[in-house]
Chains A and B, each alone.
Chain A
Amino acid sequence: MTDYTPTEMMTIAAARALRNGDVCFVGIGMPSAAANLARLTHAPDIVLIYESGTLGTKPSVLPLSIGDGELCETALTTVSVPEMFRYWLQGGRITVGFLGGAQIDRFANLNTTVVGPYDKPKVRLPGGGGAPEIATACGEIFIIMAQSKRSFVDKLDFVTSLGHGEGGDHRERLGVKTKGPTRLMTDLCIFEPDPQSNEMIVTSIHSGVTRAQVTEATGWPVCFAHTVAETPAPTAQELEVLRELHARTARAHGNAA
């Protein structure tokens, strides 16, 4: 097997989680790479939607921004942003929302707003964008994030978007009928919610990674499922398609590959 990076493993694990029939609301960055990798490999009919209004887009290179021309040129149709959020997202037409964040907690609540107090932040992050409503309106949520103690925290400074709240049936108590975060893909492992507590627990560890490494990179006392699988290593085809996608993207954006 070819060598691969932890980030490639993470992106490929995330792509594998998407199904051919999904309608996926895609964020910029790693979610976009994963969603397009899925489309170019096992899920050719997946419908990709970006919040700029592009429905059923098939970009040949990854967009730098959420509204690159490539997304519009290759879309089935492009709608206004109010229509996107009202009819398509709030209307319940999306099966999977793909999110990332700066901080995550054990119940997969996400922070992309501030580090430190809101009024006097240590770091001012970009803010929620579409995430607060994506998190509750999509059928389920996949999250992709590189794992470290700084980002996988015991307590969030700010809840930008709801995961499983305080755990258990918290979503239901808030009147939310969608599943919330069902998978969290990192560069070390895959988390899924515990059926009772909805705490994110490790269900699969990437090839060559140890439990100790996972524990060390998590800011809460991480739990492992009864049976923990080993994430299959990337196939040669997955790696080739992903690397070609990144190379095309770098050329298109005027950077050296």
Chain B
Amino acid sequence: MHMKNMTKSASDPIWTQGGLLGRVWEHLNRWPGIGPKSAERLLFYLLAADSSEVIDFAQALVELKQRIHPCRQCHHWTEDELCSICSDPKRDSSLLCVVEQPRDVIALERAGVYRGYYHVLGGRLAPLEGIGPEKLTVDSLLRRVQQGQVREVILATNPTFEGDGTALYLSSLLAPLGVKITRLARGLPSGSSLEFANSAMLADALEGRRAL
């Protein structure tokens, strides 16, 4: 979560003291990546922009919250019952890629290599923060795999301590179902050189080496 200091200081614009301008400015200032100055710039832009453009934007925001919901199957954001990926029959139904967040689906799709389906967990296992399996879409994942079409589950959780823990937990549940379980490779980025790689990258690359 982004931490923002919402207390008013002498350098804050005069409209932070209230009124409609202040309300809009405060809303903009809460958005990720938007500081007080950027919020001020956006506010001036909205004031100067065509009324139709601003109203269109406001309506789009309202519709966004009313019509976008998680896909019934993979839990990625969608406008329909099934998202565009789940409703694509040309995809490989034997492959299922498990990711933490909907943003990870977009990142993987951008790579343009993967042709299977996805499953969005909605977070990662973080026992210390009270995030257990019951807060993730684990049950729905197991149901999908039990349907029998999936042959390989790719655990694409982040390569962090908690991401690895989540992958371990999922593999302990999926192993009895008889599917192949894989984890995304990690190590050296393409186009880099060994000289500048850190020890962790090199260790990962050596551990995950493959035969040619």
Mutual binders A and B: no
Q: B residues touching A (Cβ–Cβ < 8 Å)?
A: none
